[in-house]
Structure 1
Amino acid sequence: MTGRLLYRGMLAGLLAGLLAFGVAKVIGEPLIERAIALEDAAPHSHGVEHSHEPAAPADEGVSREVQRTLGLFVAIVTYSLAMGGIFALVYAFCMGRIGKANPKMFPVLLALSAFVIIYLVPALKYPPNPPAIGNPETFQERTQLFFLMILVSVVAALIAVNVTRRLSGSMRHGRSISAGVLSYAIIMAVVGGSFPSFSEVPDHFPADLLWDFRLASMGVQAVMWGGIAVAFSLLSDRLLDAVLNPKQANPKRA
Structure 2
Amino acid sequence: MSEPVLPLLGRGLAAGGAAGLAAGLFSLLLAEPLMDRAIRLEEARSAADEHTHGAAATAVQHHEELFSRSTQHFGLVVTAVVAGLALGVLFALAYALVHRRTGLGERPWPRALAFGAAAFVAVSLLPGLRYPANPPGVGDSGTVASRQALWLAAVVIGILGMVLARQVYVRLADRSLPVRQVAVAVTGVATLAVLFALPGNPDEVPVAATLLWDFRMLSLASHAVLWAVFAGVFGALGLRAATRSVPAAEPVAA
Give the TM-score normalised by the residue count of structure 2.
0.81
User: Alignment partner for residue 200 of structure 1, among 198, 204, 208?
Assistant: 204
Q: Which residue among 109, 130, 136 is the counterpart of 2:135?
A: 130
SS in 2 for 1:161: helix
RMSD: 2.7
Cα distance in structure 2, aligned partners of 1:96 and 1:167 = 20
Equivalent pair of 1:159/1:184 in contact (CA under 8 Å): no
Equivalent in 16, 19, 30 of residue 16 of structure 1:
19
CA deviations on 1:179-227 (whole Å, 9 max, x unpaired) are: 134223203313322433446122xx32221111111111211111111
Q: Would the aligned equivalents of 1:36 and 1:131 in 2 still touch at CA under 8 Å?
A: no
Cα distance between partner residues in 1 of 2:10 and 2:136: 37
- Give the aligned partner of residue 218 of structure 2: 216
The amino acid of 1:87's aligned partner reads F
Secondary structure (helix, strand or coil) at the match of 2:143 reads: helix
Residues 118 and 59 of structure 1, relative CA distance in 2, 3 Å threshold:
farther
Separation (CA, whole Å) in 1 of partners of 2:111 and 2:198: 33
Decide whether aligned partners of structure 1 residues 187 and 218 sit closer, same or farther in structure 2, where only a CA change above 3 A counts: closer
8 A contact 1:9–1:232 mirrored in 2: yes
Structure 1: gaps (5+ residues): 47-57
Gaps of 5+ in 2: 51-62
Question: 2:238 — aligned with what?
Answer: 236
SS in 2 for 1:42: helix
Looking at structure 1, the residues matched to 90 and 181 of structure 2 have their Cα atoms a distance apart, in angstroms, of 23
1:103-139 Cα deviation digits (max 9, x unpaired): 3211111111111110111011111111463233322
Partner of 1:90: 94
CA distance in 1, matches of 2:202, 2:101: 40
TM-score using structure 1 length: 0.81
Max Rg structure:
2
8 Å CA contact 1:20–1:221 kept in 2: the answer is yes
Specify the SS of the correspondent of 2:197.
helix
Structure-to-structure mapping, 1:93-242, within 5 angstroms: 93-95=97-99, 102-131=107-136, 133-169=138-174, 171-198=175-202, 200-202=204-206, 205-241=207-243
Percent identity of equivalent pairs: 34
Aligned pair count reads 235
The structure 1 segments of at least 4 consecutive aligned residues displaced by more than 6 Å after TM superposition are: none
Q: Which moved more, 1:205-214 or 1:143-152?
A: 205-214
